[in-house]
Amino acid sequence: MEELDFATAFPFSEGAKKYISNSLINEKVIEIAIERIKRGMAGEIRTTALFSENDKIEWIASFATARMILGFLKNSNITNRFAVTESKIARSMLDKIDEKTVERVGEIFGITTINDGKNIIIDMCAFLKNSPRSIDYKLINRKLTGGRMEIKASEKRRLIEEAIRKRIEIIPLVKDPPQEIKAAASRIDALVPKSSTTVVIKVDNHPPCIAKLLEGAKNHINLNHQARFYLATYLTGINVSEDDITKIYSDLPDFNDRITRYQIGQIKKKGYTTPSCATVMTYGLCCAVCKIGSPLNWHKLSKDRKEEIINGSK
């Protein structure tokens, strides 16, 4: 892959910096950056076809400009959505490019592997540092040999995707940017619904594991598949409406209204019930010793017992 194409596809790379200069923050680049942020907010995983050298350089500059806008805006929800979308787009690139280029992207994040022709071997530290929050990536489900383990090619790409997301999510605060950046931030801010993203049920009415997931959603932290499934079965189990569950999920960085409603519908249609505490433990989501068998039994406990458990879990 040519240097410019690499920087265009992976604008967070060191090499991309050499294509950017302050003079590039012009009206056109700011408009592209705004569209890029909007794409992130909507979770649209689509790539943009760029042909001329100038278009590619503007595209790289728009990434830096978008980060500047987000750094001034200081809205963690938008930033996290932007990071998720950009990392998924980068992942779609990783699925198309040759192995050598994948290696190169991985090296940016210290994700290096040994391929002996049969297996891909990764160091445990690199694996742990970049693992997505999924049960499949828990060490308990891995065979470790001398601090290393085997991974699949798709898992390697997933680790890189996660590393990209985390890198993009960290945005330095921008205190006094040029006026055009401030104006762009105001335009983005105007698109944020001001009242619909409030968690509609009180966190302290629920068992510690659920309270933690609700707090996570409220703080725009991406929940893994199992956490989302568990939370949805619990909320349907206590008769929270589909609209209210969707509102809670709308705070997640990769929220998609249609998919969320479909999944809630599937949980109801297939009759999935709230898992037992023992099962929640296998998901790695249990965080207290409630001794209640099922999270739904939380609601049968006395106020004093609830407080005792909550204090004990802190």
Residue 128 beta carbon to ligand SF4: minimum distance, rounded to whole angstroms: 23
Residue 234 beta carbon to ligand SF4: minimum distance, rounded to whole angstroms: 9
Site track for ligand SF4 across 99-118, x = CB under 6 A: --------------------
| CA distances (Å), origin 221, targets 2, 92, 253, 254, 291 | 35, 22, 7, 10, 28
Site track for ligand SF4 across 207-246, x = CB under 6 A: xxx-------------------------------------
Counting other chains too, the contacts that 186-192 makes at CB distance below 8 Å and 24 or more residues apart are: 187/34, 188/34, 188/37, 188/38, 188/41, 188/69, 188/73, 188/75, 188/78, 189/73, 189/75, 191/38, 191/41, 192/75, 192/77, 192/78
Q: By C-beta, is 11 or 207 nearer to ligand SF4? A: 207
CA 29 – CA 144 distance, rounded (Å): 47
The 3-state secondary structure of 16-58 reads: HHHHCCHHHCCHHHHHHHHHHHHHHHHCCCCCCCCCCHHHHHH
Residue 288 in contact with ligand SF4, rule: CB under 6 A: yes
Residue type, 182: K
Site track for ligand SF4 across 239-278, x = CB under 6 A: --------------------------------------x-
Residue 306 in contact with ligand SF4, rule: CB under 6 A: no
With contacts defined by CB under 6 A, name the span among 67-75, 123-131, 170-178, 286-294 that binds ligand SF4. 286-294
Binding ligand SF4 (rule: CB under 6 A), the pick from 11, 40, 43, 295 is 295
Contacts to ligand SF4 by CB under 6 A: 207-209, 277, 280, 286-288, 290, 292, 295, 298
